[in-house]
C-alpha cells in the first residue's frame, strides 16, 4: 500500500513512518507543509494519504484545504485526516462529496497501532473512518431528532459503530454479536431512519452519515 504522509512535527512524522512501515505500508512521500502535500498527492496518486490538519506555512487548516483541493482534482482520493481536535464542521466538509474514502481521527488514535492501521486500510479501500468523538457529537446534536430517539440502546450502539465506518463483522466482534444479529439490527435501524437498505458496507455508512448530518 503506497502512502503519502503530511505532518510538520518531526518526531511524530518519524513515528508515523515507522508505524506504517512496520505494518507493511510503503511511505512514498513524507512532507511537512501544505503546498508540498498537494504536490505530492497529485504527483504520487497514493493509495491513501495520512494528513495533519494544521500545517505550515499558515498553521491554520492548511492540510485540510490541500486534501480537499487534491480530491477535487482526483475524485475519491482516499485521505485520512488527523487532528488534535475534531469538528463536525470539518467532518461535513470532508464528507460533502459523498464518495467515501475519508477518515477523520484524533491524533491520540495512533497510540493504538493496530486500530490505526485498520482505519488506514479501511480508508484506502474507499471506506470511512470517523472518530468516535465526531459520532458522539453528531448523536448529541441529533438528540432531538425523532427517529434517532426511537432506536433501542443496542441499536444506538450499532449505529455509532456503523457511523465510525466499521463493517458488520467488526461491529459483531466489538459487541460480541453474530453477523446475522448485527444484520438484523442494521436492517431495523435503516427501517426506523427511513433509509433505503443496501448490501454495500461503504454506501451504507455514507447514508447513515448523510442522515445524521442532514439537520
Partner 1 sequence: MNRRTAVAVRRGLALFLLALLGQVVALVALVGILLTFLFGMIFLFPPAVRLARAMAGLNRRVVREWCGVDVEEPYLPAPPPPVPQRDGWYREGRSLYKTPRIPAFNQRLSWLMKDSATWHDLAFLVPGMWAGGLIAGAPLLLVVLGVAQLVGGTALGLVWVALAVASAPWYAPWALRSYGQIARALLGPTEKARLARRVSTLARARTEVVDSQAAELRRIERDLHDGAQARLVAVGMTIGAAEQLMESDPAAAKALLAKARDASSDALQEIRRLVRGIHPPVLAERGLGDAVRAMALDSPLRTHVTVDLAARPDPPLESAAYFAVSELLTNAVRHGGATEAWIDLSHQGTALRIMVSDDGQGGADPSRGTGLQGIERRIAAFDGVLALSSPAGGPTTVTIELPRAFEVRLPPIPKWRAITMALCWALCWIPLIPQGFVTMGFKLAGASEKAWFLALYLPEPWQWPVIVGMIALGATMLTVASVLTAQHREEGASCE
CB atoms inside a 10 Å sphere around CB 141? 12
> Can you say how many angstroms the Cα of residue 52 is from the centroid of all Cα atoms in its chain?
13
Helix (H, G, I), strand (E, B) or coil at 131: coil
Number of residues lying near partner 1 (CB under 8 A): 21
Under the binding rule (CB under 8 A), the answer on residue 115 touching partner 1 is no
Is the backbone peptide bond immediately before 57 cis, with ω within 30 degrees of 0? yes
- Residues sharing a CB contact under 8 Å with residue 180, sequence separation 6 or more, in sequence order: none
Contact 170, 160 (CB under 8 A): no
Q: What's the first-to-final CA gap in the chain, in angstroms? A: 37
**Among residues 9, 22, 74, 140, the one that binds partner 1 under rule CB under 8 A:** 140
Separation of alpha carbons 145 and 175, rounded Å? 25
Q: How many CB atoms lie within 10 A of CB 137?
A: 16
Please give the grid coordinates belonging to residue 162.
456503523
* Under rule CB under 8 A, residue 144 binds partner 1: yes
Angle at 158 between CA 149 and CA 51, to 5 degrees: 110
Min CB(1)–partner 1 separation in Å: 25
156 scored as a contact of partner 1 (CB under 8 A): no
Q: Shortest approach of partner 1 to residue 6 CB, angstroms? A: 16
Q: Where are the beta strands (DSSP E) in the chain?
A: 2-6, 26-31, 48-52, 79-83, 102-106, 128-130
Q: How far is the CB of 29 from partner 1 (least distance, A)?
A: 24
Among 112, 115, 173, 180, binds partner 1 (CB under 8 A): 112
State yes or no: residue 61 binds partner 1 (CB under 8 A).
yes
Nearer to partner 1, 11 or 143 (CB): 143
Smallest separation (angstroms) from partner 1 to the CB of 138:
9
- Restricted to residues 69-88, the positions that interact with partner 1 (CB under 8 A) are 84-85, 87-88
Q: 136 vs 191, which CB is nearer to partner 1?
A: 136
Task: Please report whether residue 92 would count as binding partner 1 according to CB under 8 A.
Answer: yes
Q: How far is the CB of 140 from partner 1 (least distance, A)?
A: 6
Kindly state the smallest distance separating residue 89's Cβ from partner 1, in Å: 4
Footprint on this chain of partner 1 (rule: CB under 8 A): 53-54, 60-61, 84-85, 87-90, 92, 107-108, 111-112, 137, 140-141, 143-144, 215
Amino acid at each position: 500500500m503506497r502512502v503519502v504522509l503530511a505532518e510538520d512535527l518531526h518526531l511524530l512524522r518519524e513515528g508515523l513512518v515507522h508505524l506504517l512501515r512496520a505494518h507493511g505500508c510503503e511511505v512514498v512521500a513524507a512532507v511537512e507543509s501544505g503546498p508540498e502535500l498537494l504536490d505530492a498527492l497529485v504527483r504520487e496518486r497514493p493509495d491513501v494519504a495520512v494528513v495533519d490538519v494544521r500545517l505550515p506555512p499558515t498553521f491554520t487548516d492548511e492540510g485540510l484545504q490541500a486534501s480537499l483541493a487534491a480530491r477535487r482534482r482526483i475524485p475519491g482520493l482516499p485521505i485520512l485526516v488527523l487532528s488534535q481536535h475534531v469538528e463536525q464542521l470539518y467532518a461535513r466538509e470532508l464528507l460533502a462529496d459523498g464518495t467515501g474514502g475519508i477518515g477523520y481521527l484524533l491524533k491520540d488514535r495512533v497510540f493504538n497501532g493496530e486500530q490505526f492501521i485498520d482505519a488506514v486500510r479501511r480508508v484506502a479501500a474507499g471506506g470511512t473512518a470517523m472518530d468516535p468523538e465526531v459520532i458522539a457529537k453528531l448523536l448529541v446534536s441529533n438528540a432531538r431528532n425523532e427517529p434517532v430517539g426511537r432506536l433501542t440502546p443496542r441499536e444506538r450502539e450499532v449505529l455509532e459503530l456503523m457511523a465510525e465506518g466499521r463493517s458488520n463483522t467488526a461491529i459483531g466482534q466489538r459487541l460480541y454479536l453474530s453477523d446475522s444479529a448485527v444484520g438484523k439490527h442494521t436492517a431495523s435501524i435503516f427501517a426506523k431512519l427511513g433509509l433505503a437498505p443496501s448490501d454495500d458496507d461503504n454506501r451504507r455508512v455514507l447514508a447513515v452519515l448523510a442522515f445524521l448530518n442532514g439537520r
